[in-house]
Amino acid sequence: MSRQALPVPTLPVPTLPVPTLHVCVNRRLGAAGSCAAAGSEALVAALAAEIARRGLDWRVAANPCMAHCAVGPNVKAAPGGPLLHHCRAGDAAAIIDRLIAEWSPP
């Protein structure tokens, strides 16, 4: 009977979720408002630039409607962060300041 080394299984290394700012970029046609119509696409770019400027390991994701259309543009910090309303591109630095003060992502 020969003795051969058995292959050692490799297990995936669990990783923490990357802190992500989910921004609604839904654009609704017609008279009803939407986050994109209120400037959320520029907000995505402004948040990404501010995160890069500060060297944070956060991401920005463009997302579909979050069902809070009347108070958009909306930003949801995840995991476990607040849902912010009425966010504008010009508020990007203040949004990041607030999240740093109030949110503890992994």
**Residues contacting residue 51 through CB under 8 Å, at least 6 positions apart:** 21, 58, 59, 60, 96
Cα-based angle 20, 63, 96 (whole degrees, multiple of 5): 35
Q: Which stretch binds ligand FES (CB under 6 A): 48-56, 66-74, 77-85, 96-104?
A: 66-74
In angstroms, the Cα distances linking 97 to 16, 27, 77 are 22, 27, 13
User: Between residues 53 and 64, which has the closer beta carbon with respect to ligand FES?
Assistant: 64
User: Between residues 56 and 62, which has the closer beta carbon with respect to ligand FES?
Assistant: 62
Q: Is 72 in the site for ligand FES (CB under 6 A)?
A: yes
Q: Contact with ligand FES (CB under 6 A): which of 19, 22, 26, 76? A: 26
User: Between residues 23 and 99, which has the closer beta carbon with respect to ligand FES?
Assistant: 23
* Total residues at interface with ligand FES (CB under 6 A): 11
Give the rounded distance of the alpha carbon of 5 from its chain centre. 46
Max Cα distance, the chain (Å): 80
Q: Is 68 in the site for ligand FES (CB under 6 A)?
A: yes
Chain positions contacting ligand FES, by CB under 6 A: 24, 26, 34-35, 65-69, 72, 74
